[in-house]
Amino acid sequence: MTRFDRANYGPSWVEVIFGAVLSLVLGIVIAAGYFIFKPVTRVKELPKEPVTGTVYYIEGSRDYGNARRLIAKEKFFVKGGSIVVNEDEINAAASPVTAPVGPGSVPEPAPTTLITPGAPNFRIHDGLVTISVPVRLKYDLVALDQTVLVQATGSFLRHGDSFAFVPKTMFVGSCPVERIPHGMDFVLQKIYAVQPVPADIAAAWGKLSDVTVEGTTLHLTMP
């Protein structure tokens, strides 16, 4: 035998396995892309008979009418006091009212990164917290510029010396990220971990002895 003849001997087992793995990964990527850009259905409450394959979004309420009470709670919390907050108050703090851009003002520049998270929305229900974040995906090379909704539902658990949000389920668009290996970890680092938190609030959060959800309220307990 003078040389390897592929037509007679065919591909090796290594090539077959590599091809199968590559096909599997490519299939996962294509399927994930389809579901990521599949729109979610916005509703006020879940239907009695949810449609199979449909991901629903219920926005948490926001009430700016109790701004004074919220400010008082924030001050009390920063000083080391235990507080109880509802989703109205959390959302008002997470997305405060900003002044409109006036004549001569310089508007904020358009995002240049691939992933640009927006302001989060909190919903407290059934002993769990759902944090939803609109995320702009922009990549000029393929003319991509679209916003998808990222939803994570879970609770707060102690991690080391502090409490962290630990999701049980997570959707990017209509894609169930918890089914993708390390998918939730990636989304948490890229989207949730970068949300701005005032330094004094973050410092007080680190001192908490317990974080619990009761009904539609979040209990932040100090030692």
The domain in which residue 88 lies consists of 36-97+111-221
Does a structural domain hold residue 193?
yes
Does a structural domain hold residue 12?
no
Q: Specify the number of domains making up the chain.
A: 1
Does a structural domain hold residue 141?
yes
State the pLDDT at residue 150.
94
Please state, in angstroms and rounded to a whole number, the distance separating the CA atoms of residues 200 and 145. Answer: 35
State the pLDDT at residue 82.
97
Does a structural domain hold residue 208?
yes
Please state, in angstroms and rounded to a whole number, the distance separating the CA atoms of residues 120 and 152. Answer: 11
State the pLDDT at residue 105.
47
Number of Cβ atoms within 10 Å of the Cβ of 149: 19
Does a structural domain hold residue 204?
yes
Does a structural domain hold residue 13?
no
Please state, in angstroms and rounded to a whole number, the distance separating the CA atoms of residues 162 and 184. Answer: 20
Residue ranges of the chain whose pLDDT lies below 70: 1-35, 67, 96-112
Q: Among 97, 20, 31, which residue's Cα sits nearest to residue 64?
A: 97
Angle at 151 between CA 195 and CA 140, to 5 degrees: 70
Give CB contacts under 8 A, 24+ apart, made by 119-123. Answer: 119/94, 119/95, 120/94, 120/95, 120/192, 120/195, 121/59, 121/60, 121/62, 121/91, 121/94, 121/95, 122/60, 122/87, 122/90, 122/91, 122/94, 123/58, 123/59, 123/60, 123/87
State the pLDDT at residue 154.
96
Does a structural domain hold residue 64?
yes
Does a structural domain hold residue 40?
yes
